Amino acid sequence: MIRLERRPEASQVMSYASPLIAILLMLIGGLLLFAFLGKNPLEGFKVFFINPVSDWYGVSELFLKATPLMLIAVGLAVGFRANVWNIGAEGQLIVGGIAASAVALYFQEAEGAHVLILMVIAGGIGGMLWAAIPAFLKTRFNTNEILVSLMLVYVAQLLVSWLVHGPMMDPDGFNFPQSRMFEDSALLPLLSEDSRLNLAFVFALGALLAGYIFMFRSFAGFQMQVAGYARDAARYAGFSAKRMIWIGLLSGGAMAGFAGMSEVAGPMGQLTEHVSSNYGFAAIIVAFVARLNPVGIFFASLLMALLYLGGEQAQQYMNLPSSISNVFQGMLLMFLLGSDVLINYRVSWKEARV
Amino acid sequence: MTTAADGGDELRLELNGITKIYPSVIANEDVSLAVKRGEIHAVLGENGAGKSTLMKMIYGVAKPDAGEMKWEGEVVHVENPAHARSLGIGMVFQHFSLFETLNVVENVALALPGNPDLNKLAEQITEVSNRYGLPVDPQRLVHALSVGERQRVEIIRCLLQNPKLLIMDEPTSVLTPQAVRKLFDTLRQLAAEGCSILYISHKLDEIQELCHVATVLRDGKVTGDCIPAEETPKSMASLMIGKELPVPEHSVPGELGEVRLQLNRLSRVSDDPFGTDLQDIELEVRSGEILGIAGVSGNGQQELLYALSGEEPLNDADAIVICGKSSGRDQPDRRRSNGMGFVPEERLGRGAVPRMSLTENALLTAHQAGMLKHGMIQFDKIAAFARKCIADFNVKCGGEEHAANSLSGGNLQKFIMGREILLAPKLLVVAQPTWGVDVGAAAFIRQELIDLRSGGAAILVISEELEELFEISDRIAVIAEGRLSPAKQLADTNIDEIGVWMSGMWEQPAAGVAAHD
């Protein structure tokens, strides 16, 4: 009989092994899924996981997709460590993208670096403003930040939709719901000429480093970790719970807003209704697969980016629907939550005693 | 002191060579003991000596790795607590397992097999409670009961199943001296009727008074069996801790200094619907003295401590004056920088973060002592502080990098106490300094408190252990139903008077007190 036995102490090894188990199970689940759909599983595996990164362009695309994920996940992890659950990064990304676009369109004729700098600031502030709403409501009225931040995603989606159908629509764009294309001065410089990878990737690596220092070296990061592990201990020590809610939500908002900026000023070059490809939600999975650790976030973001690219390839070459990426993401999260049981429990095969 | 009741030679429970090994520790090694019918058998040992593990094996919560257990002469393997109950083994745990929002009958019904009729059950409860002097109203909600009453519910719940062996785990830690008397009467009556009792405790005087036989455990092994009536507390202590029980030296109080803590008509309505409202609490603690506050738990201690620590600040700044500063509205960190240290009752989860290392736990309150530079943690300094704390306060642990939850309760308490004392507080507020701590560690902690006070600190101790307060306090007051009695010099009072005060009766003249006795 298979039984779950509670471990005397939470297993450190398992807390790191669990994401790897989840990834393995996701792969197996994917192969089964391909077989079930009548495709050759090995072919599917190759198309999904190998082909996207078989050349430099593919790898650069992987880094490009991973950039917003890294940015958002590290911002969210700061809050998640203190049990501040910002689920609305998707909306904060959109608002950041809107704010950055507004700057780009306002300075259409301008030359010089100040345009990009202002766009970065506007993107960050836009995301922070959107995250400030749940922070204010939680600290003032004790509302649930999960619900408020999530609902604001839909508000943001409608907002961007209205803007690109109205005030920000390209007047020469044949009524397509999108803004004017940005000038070069409003586009992030490319890191290499034969790819779309831009400066935001460097910023993302910097954000991971800064996140690491904040979480593991700074006293504020320590306070947030204490609050996450033991709320009463944080209160006993006199760490302000409100301050942590603000830090947690604003860091996620700022990073998501900057990710929105990096999308409109990067691969898109304009504002459209589809600023985000669900990066705000995928980053939540990234943060958890990474155990809220910036080093882990680097690798988990690359994995998640691979799922995006693999999904596109599978659409192109295997005739699978675009939702295949979401299926893989969902499997990853589900298997992760499942195998996390092993952190506190162990499986034992014991014969049932008579 | 009575001898075992009739049929004294009949063995009810026999353990032979019981061994239990956990991954990191041998909890029990080759433990043997025998309990006769109608015998009150003490299992004496420090915290971490293996008493609880042994009881868990008898009650079927854990299984031994080696050795055999005989129940009424036959070898048994107790599979689980339900099996234990069907054999006739009942256990009253140290921490009660009652649902606060259900009434007494419902709570009892939940523990019984099947679907008992609540009205009949209420009658049975009343009958048992009358027979054994355990007054409790079956229809009352548990949250409205005092700790003593809750314990009675637990005992009644066991008695309804007609146990042949009753295991009591540290039952007196939450009772007033008067309630302890009553409990002992009940236990003696049960034993006289033939029920065997395993009585787990580290309190030597109680065991001497109540128990027929004692088995002493140390580090998981039996270090001796004795007849408590023929021993002295000293001789039993040396069996229990391997050396003589250290008694704190209480030097004569010196000159009292300035007022370090002053409460001015502190009142607070509890946020918790089941909490206690504080009413007009006034007190003063001066440099160089220890003020002890006695009381049965649930009479406002928690609320007072939260107000003092700043975890629940007040609206009235002047209600609490710490070292001359009105602090009622301050957060805990402000109060700490004014010179206050605070040791809470809960060690894991409040005084310390279970999953964090001792170094990180030192940082919890020591961060104001130069451990930060530009908002960054100076890990070498904080580790040195943690190491000093471990060394000075004799904390047994694997090292400062080990997690707080790997320490025993007593050692963690020594660490927390050490952390607060090393920060050189002008005022230290301590809740339950030695709750669940072994005698050796308890004596050490008490001595540290006395030394700190002799060094000029003002100390406020809130404890439910009267003996402890009488051992360390210079003055003593009582909290009951959210009100605080006047404080008395220790020499001017005694345990009996304070015991009466614990029921809230200090306002009557002396005659009234006598009448109550």
What region does B372 belong to: left with phi over 0, alpha with psi -120 to 50, or beta? beta
How many CB contacts within 8 angstroms connect chain A with chain B? 67
Of B311, B336, B372, the CB nearest to A219: B372
Is A8 in Cβ contact with B346 (below 8 Å)?
Answer: no
Answer yes or no: do B280 and B236 share one domain.
no
Q: What is the pLDDT along chain B (517 residues), one digit of tens a residue?
A: 344 444 446 889 999 999 998 766 788 999 999 999 999 999 988 777 888 889 989 999 888 999 999 999 899 999 988 899 889 999 987 767 788 889 999 999 988 877 888 999 999 999 888 888 788 888 988 887 877 788 888 888 888 888 999 999 888 766 777 778 888 998 999 999 999 999 988 778 888 889 999 999 888 889 888 898 888 877 887 888 777 666 666 666 677 889 999 999 999 998 877 778 999 999 999 999 999 999 887 788 989 999 999 999 999 999 999 999 999 999 999 999 999 999 998 888 999 999 899 999 999 999 988 889 989 999 999 999 999 999 999 888 888 888 888 887 788 999 999 999 999 999 999 999 987 677 778 888 999 999 999 999 999 999 988 888 999 999 999 998 899 999 999 889 988 888 888 878 887 544 444 434 3
Is B334 in Cβ contact with A233 (below 8 Å)?
Answer: no
pLDDT of residue B203: 78
Tokens 């408020």 correspond to A148
DSSP class of B20: E
Q: How far is B182 from B133, CA to CA, in rounded Å?
A: 7
Cα separations in angstroms, B200 against A91, A113, A227, B15: 59, 76, 36, 16
pTM: 0.79
Contact indicator for B455, B264 with CB cutoff of 8 Å: no
DSSP reduced 3-state for B442: helix
Q: How far is B244 from B233, CA to CA, in rounded Å?
A: 10
pLDDT of residue B6: 45
Cα separations in angstroms, B380 against A334, B58, B373: 41, 47, 12
Nearest-Cα residue of chain B relative to residue A7: B23
What is the 3-class SS of B144-182, one letter each residue? HCCHHHHHHHHHHHHHCCCCCEEEEECHHHHCCHHHHHH
Contact indicator for B302, B294 with CB cutoff of 8 Å: no
Rg for chain A, CA atoms, rounded: 22
Is B350 in Cβ contact with A232 (below 8 Å)?
Answer: yes
Is A233 in Cβ contact with B351 (below 8 Å)?
Answer: yes
Is A220 in Cβ contact with B375 (below 8 Å)?
Answer: yes
What is the 3-class SS of chain A, one letter each residue? CEEEEECCCCCHHHHHHHHHHHHHHHHHHHHHHHHHCCCCHHHHHHHHHHHHHCCHHHHHHHHHHHHHHHHHHHHHHHHHCCCCCCCCHHHHHHHHHHHHHHHHHHCCCCCCCHHHHHHHHHHHHHHHHHHHHHHHHHHHHCCCHHHHHHHHHHHHHHHHHHHHHCCCCCCCCCCCCECCCCCHHHCCCECCCCCCCECHHHHHHHHHHHHHHHHHHEHHHHHHHHHHHCHHHHHHHCCCHHHHHHHHHHHHHHHHHHHHHHHHHHHHCCCECCCCCCHHHHHHHHHHHCCCCHHHHHHHHHHHHHHHHHHHHHHHHHCCCCCHHHHHHHHHHHHHHHHCHHHHEEEEECCCCC
Report yes or no on B253 lying in a domain: no
- φ, ψ (nearest 5 deg) of residue A267: -60, -25
Closest-CA distance of chain A to residue B90, Å: 24
Is B354 in Cβ contact with A230 (below 8 Å)?
Answer: yes
Report yes or no on B5 lying in a domain: no
pLDDT of residue B516: 41
Is B352 in Cβ contact with A233 (below 8 Å)?
Answer: yes
Return the amino acid letter for B26: I
Q: How many helices (H) and strands (E) does chain B have?
A: 17, 23
pLDDT of residue B434: 86
Report yes or no on B472 lying in a domain: yes
Q: What is the pLDDT along chain A (354 residues), one digit of tens a residue?
A: 777 877 766 778 888 888 899 999 999 999 999 898 888 888 888 988 899 998 999 999 999 999 999 999 999 999 999 999 999 999 999 999 999 999 999 988 878 889 999 999 999 999 999 999 999 999 999 999 999 999 999 999 999 999 999 888 888 888 888 898 998 888 999 998 888 999 999 999 999 999 999 999 999 999 999 999 999 999 999 999 999 999 999 999 999 999 999 999 999 999 999 888 899 999 999 999 898 999 999 999 999 999 999 988 888 888 888 888 889 989 998 998 888 888 888 887 765 444
pLDDT of residue B235: 81
Answer yes or no: do B121 and B263 share one domain.
no
pLDDT of residue B245: 64
Return the amino acid letter for B315: N
Answer yes or no: do B185 and B223 share one domain.
yes
| Residues of chain A neighbouring B24 (CB-CB closer than 8 A) | 8
Is A240 in Cβ contact with B354 (below 8 Å)?
Answer: no
Report yes or no on B364 lying in a domain: yes
ipTM over 0.90: no
Q: Considering its fold, how many domains does chain B have in total?
A: 3
DSSP class of B195: -
Boundary of a domain, candidates B391, B414, B437? B414
Report yes or no on A50 lying in a domain: no
Answer yes or no: do B229 and B287 share one domain.
no
* Tokens encoding B39: 């015998």
Answer yes or no: do B306 and B380 share one domain.
no
Upper half-sphere CA count for residue A204 (Cβ side, 13 Å): 29
Contact indicator for B339, B261 with CB cutoff of 8 Å: no
Boundary of a domain, candidates B211, B241, B271? B241
Answer yes or no: do B332 and B405 share one domain.
no
Report yes or no on B246 lying in a domain: no
Q: What's the CA angle centered on A8, arms B88 and B404, to 5 degrees? A: 120
Is A226 in Cβ contact with B332 (below 8 Å)?
Answer: no
Answer yes or no: do B237 and B272 share one domain.
no
| Residues of chain A neighbouring B23 (CB-CB closer than 8 A) | 8
* Tokens encoding A94: 């959109």
Report yes or no on B406 lying in a domain: yes
Answer yes or no: do B91 and B192 share one domain.
yes
Collect contacts of B334-338 with beta carbons under 8 A, ≥24 apart: B334/A238, B334/B310, B335/A238, B335/B309, B335/B310, B336/A238, B336/B365, B336/B368, B336/B423, B337/B368
> For A204-220, b where at least 16 C-beta lie within 10 A, e where not — what string?
beebbeebbebbeebbb
Of A219, A229, A235, the CB nearest to B377: A219
Q: How far is B358 from B352, CA to CA, in rounded Å?
A: 8
| Residues of chain B neighbouring A10 (CB-CB closer than 8 A) | 355
Q: How far is A73 from A295, CA to CA, in rounded Å?
A: 11
Is B360 in Cβ contact with A236 (below 8 Å)?
Answer: no
Nearest-Cα residue of chain A relative to residue B371: A219
User: Per-residue DSSP letters for B480-515?
Assistant: ETTEEPPPEEGGG--HHHHHHHTTT--SS-HHHHHH
Torsion of CA A315, A321, A323, A327, to 10 degrees: -90
> CB contact, 8 Å: B234 with chain A?
no
Domain range spanning residue A244? 65-297
| Residues of chain A neighbouring B406 (CB-CB closer than 8 A) | 9
Report yes or no on B249 lying in a domain: no
Closest-CA distance of chain B to residue A239, Å: 8
pLDDT of residue A351: 56
DSSP reduced 3-state for B475: strand
Contact indicator for A304, A282 with CB cutoff of 8 Å: yes
Answer yes or no: do B215 and B329 share one domain.
no
Answer yes or no: do B20 and B131 share one domain.
yes
Is B372 in Cβ contact with A235 (below 8 Å)?
Answer: no
Q: List beta partners, residue B296.
A: none
> CB contact, 8 Å: B402 with chain A?
no
Closest-CA distance of chain B to residue A150, Å: 30
* Tokens encoding A220: 């504020």
DSSP class of B38: T
Contact indicator for A341, A335 with CB cutoff of 8 Å: no
Report yes or no on B124 lying in a domain: yes
Return the amino acid letter for B145: L
Could you count the other beta carbons within 10 Å of the beta carbon of residue B275? 17
Return the amino acid letter for A115: V
Answer yes or no: do B167 and B26 share one domain.
yes
Domain range spanning residue B314? 259-339+425-516
Nearest-Cα residue of chain A relative to residue B378: A217
Is B310 in Cβ contact with A233 (below 8 Å)?
Answer: no
> CB contact, 8 Å: B342 with chain A?
yes
Answer yes or no: do B75 and B142 share one domain.
yes
Q: What's the CA angle centered on B483, arms B478 and B488, to 5 degrees? A: 35
| Residues of chain A neighbouring B364 (CB-CB closer than 8 A) | 226, 233, 236-237
Contact indicator for A350, A3 with CB cutoff of 8 Å: yes
Q: Considering its fold, how many domains does chain A have in total?
A: 1
DSSP reduced 3-state for B414: helix
Report yes or no on A307 lying in a domain: no
Is A232 in Cβ contact with B342 (below 8 Å)?
Answer: no
Is A237 in Cβ contact with B365 (below 8 Å)?
Answer: yes
Nearest-Cα residue of chain B relative to residue A215: B376
Question: A200-217 vs A56-80: helix axis angle to the nearest 10?
Answer: 30
Of A220, A233, A353, the CB nearest to B353: A233
Nearest-Cα residue of chain B relative to residue A220: B375
Nearest-Cα residue of chain A relative to residue B24: A8
Report yes or no on A19 lying in a domain: no
